[in-house]
Each structure stands twice: as C-alpha cells, then as structure tokens.
Chain A
Amino acid sequence: MSASLTGGRTSAVESSRTWPLIDRIMLAFCWIAGITACVIAFAIVAFMAYKGLEFLRPNLFVERPNATFDQSKSGGFLDPLIGTILLTTMGTLVAIPASVAVAIWLTEYGRPFGLARAVESAVEIIAGTPSIVLAIFGLIIFQQEVFGFLSFRAEGGSVFGRSFFTAALMMSLIALPLIVGATREGLQAIPSHVREASYALGKSKWATIQRVLLPSVRPAIGTGTVLGMGRIAGDTAIVVVLLGASLQIQGYGDIPGLDILRGNGGTLTSYTYVNSPAGEGAAPDKAYAAAFVLLMISIGLNLFVSRLARSGKSASAAATR
C-alpha cells in the first residue's frame, strides 16, 4: 500500500528546471553570491595564515619593536600586543557599566517618551559615526585644560590629549552601541510577568532589576561585550589619532602604572599599518605576522560570541517556557 501511495505523490525535491529563465538566473546568482562569500572568507584566512605563519616566530611575542630598517634588529610586537590588550580592556571596562545603564533606562524606565527617543537616536548616531570622526572629536575634547590629567603636557605647556586613557574613553563609544543593543534585546525578551512576579513579592523596581533582570541578561551583556571587544581590537583610526601609534609604549610621569596609562603607545592594528607596504613599509613580514595574530584574536572573539549566544538562547528558552 505504501508503495502505491508514494508513487502517486510528487517528488519531495522541487526542481527548478521548469522555472522561467529569469528565475533560474536569479537562483544561480544567489548560489554564486553565497559561495563567493565563503571563498573570500576562506581566502583571507588562508592567505593570512600562509603569510603570517611563514614569519610568525615565538620571539615576536616577547621582543619589543625597534625603529630600524634592519629586519634582524627591528624586534617583535610585544608593545603593540600589550597595547591591544590594554586598550581593549580599558575601553570595555568603561563601556559595560555605561551601556548597561543606558539599556536599563531605555527598557525599564524610558519616560518621558521624547527623551527615550532622543537617547535611542543618540546611540544610533554613535554607532554610525566613523571611528576617525570619533577620534578627531576626542582629540579636540581631551586637549582642553580640564582633561590635562588624562594625558600629559607637551613642550610649551599645552595638553597633548593623546594617551591610553583618552583613546580608551573614545574606544568605549565604539563598543557602547553593541552592548546597549544586546542588553536591550535581552531585557525585552524577559516576559513582563516575570517582573510582575517580583513586584508581587513586595519588591521595588530597583530590587527587581538587580536580582532578577540583570542576572537574566548576563549572557546578552556578555555577547555584546565580546562583539565590542572585537571592534575595539580591530580599530585603527582612534589608535593613530589618540594613542600616537608609536612602536613602543612610552610612559609619562613618575607614578608606576599610571605613567603608561597617561602615555602613548600602539596596537597590533597600528603596528600592522605602519610596517606594511601601505605605511612606512619597514617590516612587511612582521606586519603579516601581526595581522595574522589580530585576525586570530577577532575570529576567536567571534567564536566566543556564538557560543555565548547559544548558551544564552537555551537559558532564555528555559526561562520563557
């Protein structure tokens, strides 16, 4: 009986052979576009792996860079690596509390309506501003007298405005829209009866936010944060304008630790740029190696995000069951 039944059915796999020509061309285009994207992504990773691994040596990670045309003496990228880690950490530390606060205000308060719309637009504008514009803006701001403590004074007494502090503050703006967006989505996914259940136990709004809502959106905050870290680690413009993009980290002042934060430096992005044929071209081999390390960092962060998102999804699915 089953054989006679399946014989009567049309094939489960739909064939495009009967389609009009234009539809078939469109279909072919979709296939080509998808495959091309894969090929490009694979080509980037493969090329950078080939070029990078060829020149990547363990000593590159521990030697400080030197400005010389002699490749054997130009050192490694210890300082830029530390710069990337330091700048990403500082930028994220500033961005998380600010972004979570903005997201909570928007979702849980958001009154008056006009102000909420204005805050939303502001976050969108920040998200849409090119980082070079943020950098120039930051430079103007941080060269003001009041912000002198964030950097140092150049010869002649004017505020220099370029330091890890000032660069990190502007970098936090790069991460902010991503963390705000992820946190808001997380908060909006919590059903209102969960909040009401907390209020019905005699809890204030603030207690509810602290003990119920924030723990629920922790995976979302994590996702936004890691995305933001990727953006900070990959940004060049702010490093060039606000950090000095120097090869070595140069501290200013006498207080250990603080001198570095008030001083100049570079990151893997600026190191790659400066050493590549596009910059001064002093050490293209090392630029490839640094670029490969940078690529690995951002791919790693992205993989981490998708894992976080998956665990967050299963957690919120359990919460809304």
Chain B
Amino acid sequence: MSLPGDQTTYSGPPPPVRRIVVSEEPTIVEPPRLDPSAPAAAVTGAPLTRRSDSLPASAIVERMRTENLRLYYGDNEAVKGVSLPVCRGEVLALIGPSGCGKTTLLRSLNRLTELTATARREGQIFLDNEDVDRIEVTQLRRRVSMVFQQPNPFPMSIFDNVAYALREGANRKPRKSALMEPVRQALDRAGLLAEVESNLDHPALRLSGGQQQRLCIARSLAAQPEVLLLDEPCSALDPKSTETIEQLIVKLRSEVAVVIVTHNLQQARRIADKVGFMYLGDLVEFGDGEQLFSNPREARTADYVAGSFG
C-alpha cells in the first residue's frame, strides 16, 4: 500500500487506516503507551477532591428509613431486603453497576414504583417515623420530590414550570403575582435565578441542558420538600453544568435530605457523605464515603471501586 508522492508532504510512517483492501493483511494500530507509574488521576484529569467538609453531627437528622425493603418486578427480585437511613445534612449516594436496583430503590422512596404495573413491594419505608403507605400519595410526593436523568421541563414558561409545583393539582391559581416570590426563591436555591430573571416568561424548553436540569431541581424544591431524590441528574450534562449541580447538591444538603443515584464514582466521591454500594439487589456495603472508597470492607466493593480508578 505505498502511495507515490507521499514523501514530499509527509515524512513519518503512513497513517494506519486509509481504505480497506480485503486481500491485504489489516494494519494493526499500536495502543497508546502509558506510564504505569503515573497516577490514575493524571490520565482522567479529574480532581478527586471533595466539594466540602462534612457537616457537624448536630446538623444531621434522620428523615427517612427503609426497613428490610424488598422490591419485585413480577418474580424477579430487584431489591433484596435493604435497610437504609436517609438524613438531612448528608448526601447519600447509591452506587453500583447497571441493573443492581439503585434506581428502583430510589423510586420506591416516593412510591413511584407503584406506577409500574408489575412492581410489588415488601418491607417498610418511613418518613419521619410515619409509614409512607399511610401518607396520601400526592402529599408524600410533595414531601419527597425527585429529579430525573433526562432534564424534563414541561412545555410551558420557566415561571409556570416552577409555579405548577406550587399550585394545587391542575389549578391555574393562585395568580402569578402571588407566586412571584416563592418562584424566585426556588430558582435562586437552584442557582438559576440570575440567568433567567429577565425572561421568566420564555419557554423552558429553550434553555440549555444544564439550565433545564437546574430548572427541574428548582421545580422540585419549590414545594419545600423534605427529601430530594436525584436519579443520575448529571449523566446527560456537560462537565461545567455537572460541577454547578454538584455544588448545588452539597449546598442543599443542610436543608434537605439528598439521595443521589450515580454511575460516576468520582462524582460520588466528590459530593457524598454516605455511600451505599449495591450489587444484584443487595446493599453490599454502606458507610462514610471516604471510608468506602479508600478502605472498603467488602471484597466486591473493593473490586467495583477499584475499577473506577484505573
């Protein structure tokens, strides 16, 4: 595969792939040579520092608790007897490989799993020591709110997205003037107010992905929930938006109990105070974030966590 005329413009070895010639031997491309002694962080370029220090123990209050929680899809047991506390003042991260039951567990906390026809639940979930089954479901979801993987603003204005959460049911009242203050507060808590202040009437779907996700967080915060559930909130976002949202989560934990499901272990390490590692429906290990990552007790945790550091 020699190409006449190449020598004048290009002196190195020929680029490996030009065209596919079936009869010839394929050109094997050498993998990039890495220095094995270099630290993993140098390869990924991501700092593995925490966003902030833990809050004092006095600021930590248990808000939710699951007791021997089991969830089934048909005959398939997705969550196998998990007991877990959820506290205000801490960010709880659930980590684990895909299909290990993290999201199912998260969705059961505000009874969203009940929307799945085949799903069944055993065991108990408490919100401030009250069984969630005894709380009327729309009331429960106002208290335990959720943000999803894909930013999903509703097809209405920025203002109305937040106001929708504040109004009862499908009502269009209270009127806009009466809701301006709480809407602005919610946008401010989500760190979005400065960017959208002058165009609250614009359609929410015109915002960027990161802004949309912060709008979804603002919407969830508007009704003053006690617990905020986040299902991989940054997986569809760019690094800059991710950083903004991580800082936001860390700031919110003093007012709201935060549970986050994430596949990004570095993210969990940056923001989580407590980490639960799930594997095939079991809660394998639960503990302080730093301890779980640097000194895991279980071999399965060690294997999984090690995978992320190269």
Give residues in A with beta carbon < 8 Å to B.
1, 3-5, 8-9, 191, 193-194, 196-204, 206-207, 210-212, 215-216, 315, 318-321
Contacts and interface: CB of A to CB of B under 8 A. Distances in A.
A315 B3 contact: no
A318 B204 CA distance: 10
Interface string B1-32: 00111100110000000110000000000000
B169 A203 contact: yes
Contact of A201 (B156, B164, B205): B164
A198 B141 CA distance: 10
Interface string B139-159: 111100110111110111000
B216 A197 contact: yes
Interface residues of B, number: 38
Contacts of B5: 1, 3-4
Given A1-B10, A321-B209, A200 B154 contact: no
B112 interface: yes
Nearest to B143: A202
B219 interface: yes
Contact of A4 (B3, B150, B152, B216): B3
- Give the interface centre of B10, B145, B151, B169 by most chain A CB atoms within 10 Å: B169
Q: Is the interface of A mostly helix, strand, loop or mixed?
A: helix
B146 to A, nearest CB: 4
Given A199-B141, A200-B146, A5 B18 contact: yes
Given A201-B164, A201-B219, A319 B205 contact: yes
A212 B112 CA distance: 18
Contacts of B176: none
Given A4-B5, A4-B6, A196-B112, A202 B154 contact: no
Given A199-B112, A202-B223, A212 B154 contact: yes
Contacts of B141: 199-203
Contacts of A319: 152, 155, 205
B165 interface: yes
- The 5 A-B residue pairs whose C-beta atoms are closest, nearest first, are A202-B142, A207-B170, A200-B146, A202-B141, A202-B138
B3 A5 contact: yes
B115 interface: yes
Contact of B112 (A3, A200, A210): A200
Contacts of A320: 150
21 contacts: A4-B5, A4-B6, A9-B19, A193-B149, A193-B150, A193-B152, A194-B154, A198-B154, A200-B110, A201-B141, A201-B223, A202-B138, A202-B139, A202-B141, A203-B138, A203-B164, A206-B170, A207-B169, A215-B154, A216-B155, A319-B152
